[in-house]
């Protein structure tokens, strides 16, 4: 499998994931993501296929019962969002799209669209999901 690497600003933390994972970028407009990052979160999903190096520099913040957000303790780069959602069989990593090279990336979905404020919009046409749509998807998969 072809792998690709990403890293934080200072380079203390690096991640390696299957290259195919980082092409599809999803946007989360929820209030928590926007407060965390100053804007919507652009993330790529890699299930649990993630090799972390420099893990001693990763700070974890439990932002809710089912997820934690992590960042480099030295440079503050947001690294990933780890879902422990009870309905998922394994942990799922949602990694910050910004830590990976940009070639072949495309925007594939936008979630928590009901939380998006009016002052910005993405020009790309993508599926737009509400929180309820996401819950319905989880429920129909289980």
Sites of contact with Zn ion (CB under 5 A): 8, 10, 12, 28, 30, 33, 72, 74-75
CB of 99 to Zn ion, least distance (A): 10
Q: Which is nearer to Zn ion, 131 or 136 (CB)?
A: 131
- 3-class SS of residue 37: helix
CB of 54 to Zn ion, least distance (A): 8
CB of 106 to Zn ion, least distance (A): 20
Q: Which is nearer to Zn ion, 30 or 108 (CB)?
A: 30
What's the rounded Cα separation, in Å, for the pair 102 and 114? 28
13 contact partners, CB below 8 Å, separation of at least 6: 7, 52, 53, 54, 55, 57, 58, 72, 77, 79
Q: Which is nearer to Zn ion, 12 or 108 (CB)?
A: 12
Report which of 30, 36, 42 is spatially closest to residue 130, judged by C-alpha positions. Answer: 30
């Amino acid at each position: 499998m072809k792998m690709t690497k990403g890293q934080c600003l200072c380079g203390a933390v690096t991640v390696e994931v299957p290259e195919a994972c980082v092409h599809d970028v999803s946007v989360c407009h929820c209030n928590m993501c926007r407060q965390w990052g100053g804007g919507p979160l652009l993330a790529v999903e890699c299930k649990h296929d993630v090799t972390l190096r420099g893990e001693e520099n990763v700070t974890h913040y439990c932002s809710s019962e089912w997820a934690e957000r992590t960042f480099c303790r030295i440079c503050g780069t947001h690294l990933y969002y780890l879902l422990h959602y009870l309905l998922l069989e394994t942990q799922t990593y949602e990694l910050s799209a910004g830590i990976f090279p940009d070639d072949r990336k495309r925007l594939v979905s936008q979630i928590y669209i009901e939380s998006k404020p009016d002052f910005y919009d993405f020009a790309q046409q993508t599926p737009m999901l509400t929180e309820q749509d996401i819950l319905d998807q989880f429920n129909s998969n289980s």
